A and B are shown apart, each in its own frame.
Chain A
Amino acid sequence: MWERLRYRLRYVSGTDVALWIVAALLLVMITVGSYNSLTSGRYTGKQWFDFIISGLAQGSIYALIALGYTMVYGILFMINFAHGEVFMSGPFTAYFLAEVLEQRGLFETNPWLALGLVMLLSMAVSTVVAVSLERIAYRPLRGAPRLVPLITAIGASFFLQYTFRGLYTPGFKAYPEVQPLKGTWTLFGLEIQRMLIAVFVSSLLLLLLLYAFVQFTKVGRAIRAVAEDQQAAALMGVDVDRTISITFAVGGAAAGAAGVFYALMFRQVNFFMGFFPGLKAFTAAVLGGIGNLPGAMLGGLFLGVFESLGPSLFLEGLGVPAAYQLKDAIAFTMLVLFLIFRPTGILGERLAKRA
């Protein structure tokens, strides 16, 4: 018994010990903080419930964006850091349609049609931006070392941000309100904001739809084949370039839809709106296990709920002032912790084999 322990301890470095201490401290902090918050009675059960619901709605938006990161990573092994701008381009462009439709009164008379049109335009724009991005910025670098497309992605991200800033001016634009989504619904005796439920349910449906597309259609099969082995896929007669374009298109469409949900929830769009959701969705993709579709969905929801509950649950209980402002810190702390302790993510198991 002692022999074995001593044997295993021989391989423990100072860094390991330091990391364990950090992990243990965090666990203690989370437990103590949660205990304090829950027993202090500062929030009612209904309020905790609201935190979870808004976390799920926010998380499903992350999940939709994360899908694009993870699919592109699965096929090209690169992080498309301009994906946040793909997300921004759709709803920002669609704002102008929304404005016209609102002036014509379509949001009053037929809000679903108006919303549908805005959604369609947003998805189309994001798709076109994603596909052009791959065609212009990434495809010529296909054979280059992995750092090269990464740097290009960051450049493309800035390029897109400032192009859209130039096109549509730098200020915030306010999305019109959708009447049927205002107010609350009562489900099982609980009042829930309609908007949150609508966003959550439609994102979930869209995620399932996209998952089914990848899993059960011929094109989806081609995407998975290219992700596993590009040459073998080409030998089956799969047009690899076209399949990669389709992958970017699917990710773009999902981001465009997520963008409209985001704009409806926060009522604002501007050229910088893609930056934080983009980073968060990237975090979600890593949490779930990058390259793994169900992982991205799970990671998104997990991150959404975690950062929505986190400030009130862990931090306020520890007496941290203005805990809500530390929401982003919680999200990115999670990213770092996952990269240290479980770099393959929640569902990932096969990354090491690929490297």
Chain B
Amino acid sequence: MSHYFEIRDLHVHYGAIHALKGISLYVEEGEIVTLIGANGAGKTTTLRAISGLVRPTSGEIRFEGEDLLRYRPHEIVALKRIIHVPEGRRVFARMTVEENLYMGAFTRTDKDGIEEDLERVYALFPRLKERRRQLAGTLSGGEQQMLAIGRGLMGRPRLLIMDEPSMGLAPILVESIFDTIQEINRQGTTVLLVEQNAHMALSIAHRGYVLRTGEIVLHGTAEELRNNEMVQKTYLGMA
């Protein structure tokens, strides 16, 4: 049986380092699925493999049954609308906020749809509208994260993959970012979320995977993972 999005037995090597040792996971349409784990567990590598920035040694990545490994990064965006909001935001600092948002819609040609989505992003993040003529490099960390997410939404994602959206943000901002992710999902976008902040991630996700040194060690609904003793000890900081 085939899933909306699926990774099967994926291996990635960086030179002699075996970063992913055969991971498998799936995401169904409309879900929020989270991938949690410590630093260096291979979360970012997984996402980079999905968007084609890293060439896996073996394995399969399938979207609606079609193998993605034959595509180059820009084709994955253009043809499949799988949008990757990268770790560390990576906004274009020397462009204005609005130019950044238009970059997110780079592969689209439907002018009306783009303007519609621009308004939708501005409704979601009124701060961005206030600052739309400002250079992105002058924004605060929280605002840059909003911009990175907004830029991702401008591509009208069919699968939105997000890498550590909470990184480096004040707790109050983290909360609002996660509320927004939940809202985006409610509006119909499927989300694959990588997080170190397991507590927040499991509070909004439907299902989750636990990644440790390149292997998936646990998989279940968010509820199950929250109640799992190992997860509580290692990732939720409970005694």
Contact = CB atoms under 8 A, between A and B. Distances in A.
Interface of A: 218, 221-222, 224-225, 228-229, 231-240
A235 B77 contact: yes
Contacts of A236: 74, 77, 103-104, 106-107, 151, 155
A232 B106 contact: no
Nearest to A243: B74
Interface in B69-113: 72-74, 77-78, 83-84, 86, 90-95, 99, 102-104, 106-107
> Across chains A and B, which 9 residue pairs bring their CB atoms closest together, nearest first?
A237-B77, A237-B107, A234-B73, A232-B90, A239-B74, A236-B106, A237-B78, A236-B103, A237-B74
B95 A235 contact: no
| From A224, A229, A236, residue with most partner B Cβ within 10 Å | A236
A232 B91 CA distance: 8
Nearest to A224: B95
Given A235-B84, A236-B155, A238-B74, A228 B92 contact: yes
21 contacts: A218-B102, A218-B106, A221-B95, A221-B106, A222-B106, A224-B92, A225-B95, A228-B94, A231-B53, A231-B73, A231-B90, A232-B90, A234-B53, A234-B73, A235-B73, A235-B77, A235-B84, A235-B86, A236-B74, A237-B77, A237-B155
B51 interface: yes
Nearest to B95: A224
Chain A contact surface mostly: helix
Contacts of B107: 236-237
Contacts of B94: 224, 228
Nearest to A234: B73
A10 to B, nearest CB: 35
Contacts of A221: 95, 99, 102-103, 106
A235 B154 CA distance: 12
Nearest to A232: B90
Contacts of A240: 74
A196 to B, nearest CB: 35
Contacts of B155: 236-237
A221 B100 CA distance: 9
Interface residues of B, number: 25
A239 B74 CA distance: 6
A229 B52 CA distance: 16
Contacts of B72: 239
A314 B94 CA distance: 40
Contacts of B106: 218, 221-222, 236-238
| From A221, A224, A231, A235, residue with most partner B Cβ within 10 Å | A235
Contacts of A233: 103
B120 to A, nearest CB: 18
Nearest to B107: A237
Contacts of A222: 103, 106
B35 to A, nearest CB: 18
A226 to B, nearest CB: 10
Contacts of B53: 231, 234-235
Contacts of B95: 221, 224-225, 228
Contacts of A218: 102, 106
Contacts of A237: 74, 77-78, 106-107, 155
| From A222, A224, A237, A239, residue with most partner B Cβ within 10 Å | A237
Contacts of A224: 92, 94-95
Contacts of A225: 92, 95, 103
Nearest to B84: A235
Nearest to A241: B72
A299 to B, nearest CB: 19
A63 B148 CA distance: 36
A221 to B, nearest CB: 6
A229 B90 contact: yes
A235 B51 contact: yes
A294 to B, nearest CB: 13
